[in-house]
Amino acid sequence: MATSIDISDLNIYYGDFLAVEGVDMTIRARSVTAFIGPSGCGKSTFLRSLNRMHEVIPGARVEGKVVVDGQSLYDPSIDPVAVRRQIGMVFQRPNPFPTMSIYDNVLAGNRLNAKRMKKSEADDIVERSLRGANLWTEVKDRLGKPGMGLSGGQQQRLCIARAIAVEPQVLLMDEPCSALDPISTAAIEDLIHELKSDYTIVIVTHNMQQAARVSDDTGFFNLKAAGQPGHLVEFNATSKVFSNPDDPSTEAYISGRFG
Ligand SMILES: Nc1ncnc2c1ncn2[C@@H]1O[C@H](COP(=O)(O)OP(=O)(O)OP(=O)(O)O)[C@@H](O)[C@H]1O
């Protein structure tokens, strides 16, 4: 199910503004890839270009190629809605649907797909997804209660359950722990570790220790100068990036000398 992503010569624009320039990278299947770099260097923009979420902003566009499972995502024949189903996303702030129960939150994506489901099939998806997100035992006795009644960390795991309920190939996570306390953060990090046996995971994080803990590969993005586009400085195994990076600016960033 999981798949690699090949990105070549990708330029990402907001109108006339070139936000990210010339990215080449291969994201490996069944691995965790982290993007790090100073604020404004284009990590989130790049992440959103991987499931065609970038273009929902008026005037936003890309040049170059993103190939998933042999399919070029930006080919005119490709339906962006189908891409977003195949490549799910988890955001910085947990965003369960406030009026829906835990049960209905998990199924929200499946129901958008407009397939009618038997109750037993829906029950199975809810249990499998909540187990997959390490939330089942905490919520199994209150599935009919509102998702908003959960703690922040539980809400984020509910959002991960919702994302995996549609059986995507890739999970994109944009600073998924930045609104969480250390215990909830540890729970999400453990979960990321477990999920990578089934999914290709890409995570943006400001937390260097988190990148070092959870990822197999790390991409360091930077700006050449203020107002210049962001670019990928270095993409390597995480162990190398954090012990013996190729580029002096990577070393400076991870040792806290800028950013
Ligand atoms: N909706 C938008 N319209 C125009 N420009 C935008 C938009 N969103 C982001 N940008 C610009 O694109 C550049 C990259 O922003 P992006 O949010 O991707 O960086 P980032 O590395 O994720 O930053 P942070 O770490 O602060 O979240 C910045 O110059 C930003 O101002």
Domains along the sequence of the chain with CATH: 5-96+171-254 (3.40.50.300)
pLDDT at 114: 65
Residue 222 CA to ligand 1 centre (angstroms) = 12
Residue 44 CA to ligand 1 centre (angstroms) = 7
Q: Please give the number of the atom of ligand 1 that sits closest to the Cα of 46.
A: 18
Could you give the CA distance from residue 135 to residue 129 in angstroms, rounded to a whole number?
9
Give me the tens of pLDDT residue by residue for the chain, a chain 259 residues long. 678 999 999 999 999 999 999 999 999 999 999 999 999 999 999 999 999 999 999 999 999 999 998 899 999 999 999 999 899 999 999 999 999 999 999 999 998 876 688 999 999 999 999 999 999 999 999 999 999 999 999 999 999 999 999 999 999 999 999 988 999 899 999 999 999 999 999 999 999 999 999 999 999 999 988 889 999 999 999 999 999 999 999 999 999 887 7
Residue 40 CA to ligand 1 centre (angstroms) = 5
Minimum CA distance residue for ligand 1 atom 9: 45
- Please report where in the chains the tokens 């006339």 appear, as a residue: 16
CB 64 within 8 A of CB 49: no
**Ligand 1 and 40: CB distance under 6 A:** yes
Minimum CA distance residue for ligand 1 atom 24: 39
Render 175-207 in DSSP notation, one character per residue: STTTTS-HHHHHHHHHHHHHHTTTSEEEEE-S-
**Ligand 1 and 49: CB distance under 6 A:** no
Could you give the CA distance from residue 129 to residue 145 in angstroms, rounded to a whole number?
17
Minimum CA distance residue for ligand 1 atom 5: 14
For residue 77, the 8-state DSSP code is T
0.90 surpassed by pTM:
yes
Site to probe by mutation for ligand 1, drawn from 21, 41, 49, 205 as the one with most ligand atoms within 8 Å of Cβ, is: 41
pLDDT at 224: 86
Q: Please give the number of the atom of ligand 1 that sits closest to the Cα of 175.
A: 27
